[in-house]
Amino acid sequence: MVNMKMATLITCDPAMLQLIRHMDKTQELSYKFIIKQLDETHILVDRDAVTHLKQRVDSFMDQLSPDQVS
């Protein structure tokens, strides 16, 4: 029997990869979305999780560097 899943390849730095792995481990998207970690900078994730994952990462990055008022 063959199982097939649509995936997206994500390329990022090792620190961001650790954040994504943490999100997968704690099931922040309500399910495990990592299909395979290929190396220190490449990871395959479930295609359906990409939009939500991007929103979570953007939110996290906004918390690290809030907008500065000029």
pLDDT in tens, 18-70: 999 999 999 988 999 999 999 999 999 999 999 999 999 999 888 888 776 55
Separation between Cα atoms, residue 60 and residue 66, nearest integer Å: 10
The residue type found at 2 is: V
Separation between Cα atoms, residue 63 and residue 61, nearest integer Å: 5
Map out the domains of the chain with their CATH numbers: 10-62 (3.30.70.1220)
Instruction: Measure CA 57 to chain center.
Output: 7
pTM of the model: 0.80
